[in-house]
Chains A and B, each alone.
Chain A
Amino acid sequence: DGGITQSPKYLFRKEGQNVTLSCEQNLNHDAMYWYRQDPGQGLRLIYYSQIVNDFQKGDIAEGYSVSREKKESFPLTVTSAQKNPTAFYLCASSIQGTGYTFGSGTRLTVV
């Protein structure tokens, strides 16, 4: 079955560390997205990519970086510059004219 796989499900980061969240899809979707969700809040767009080797900043890109070297993969790095990284991170993909397909999320906690 096609879908989106996010890993790991839970991730713990020490202060000053960079961590990378994985997102892989086998849906052959062109566009991929990263969202951040804080408790009791909606989704805020971090980065998105519409084609390989191209990506754009979303509403809250500071302290994050991405790459899109392959159509299937869109990893997100949370850098030490992100001052409040504890959140639930959701990856999604889409193809023109449809809604999003979401992964099951990664919960990142700073320890």
Chain B
Amino acid sequence: GDSVTQMEGPVTLSEEAFLTINCTYTATGYPSLFWYVQYPGEGLQLLLKATKADDKGSNKGFEATYRKETTSFHLEKGSVQVSDSAVYFCALNIQGAQKLVFGQGTRLTINP
């Protein structure tokens, strides 16, 4: 079945460090890929998305590129801030299906 695997957390970095959170997927069709962010005590917010191979999603300094050859959608940011501390979820949905499949989430903590 369709699935998403994220790098295990928690991840702790210092402010201004480079961030990578790995995400790989298994899908039978042609998925769209998403990153969501969850701040403490809140719901999830869409951070960025990509709908086809080689697309790059970007928002708030975060980027992720849809790599079909490696079935990956790694999240990156060049210089993290304390306010980036949150849980990050990678997700996919198959074209024509509205249901999203989520990874297990990666907790990120940024220290000043």
Residues of A near any B CB (own CB < 8 A): 4, 6, 31, 33, 40-43, 45, 48, 50, 90, 92, 94, 96, 99-105, 107
Contact = CB atoms under 8 A, between A and B. Distances in A.
Contacts of B34: 99
B28 interface: no
Given A42-B102, A92-B44, A99-B91, 20 more contacts: A6-B43, A33-B99, A33-B100, A41-B105, A42-B103, A43-B89, A43-B102, A43-B105, A45-B99, A50-B98, A90-B44, A92-B43, A96-B98, A99-B32, A99-B49, A102-B43, A102-B44, A103-B43, A104-B43, A105-B42
A42 B104 contact: yes
Interface of B: 32, 34, 36, 41-46, 49, 89, 91, 93, 98-100, 102-105, 107
9 contacts: A6-B43, A33-B100, A41-B105, A42-B89, A48-B99, A90-B43, A94-B100, A99-B93, A104-B43
A63 to B, nearest CB: 21
Given A42-B89, A42-B104, A99-B49, A104 B42 contact: yes
Contacts of B100: 33, 94, 99-100
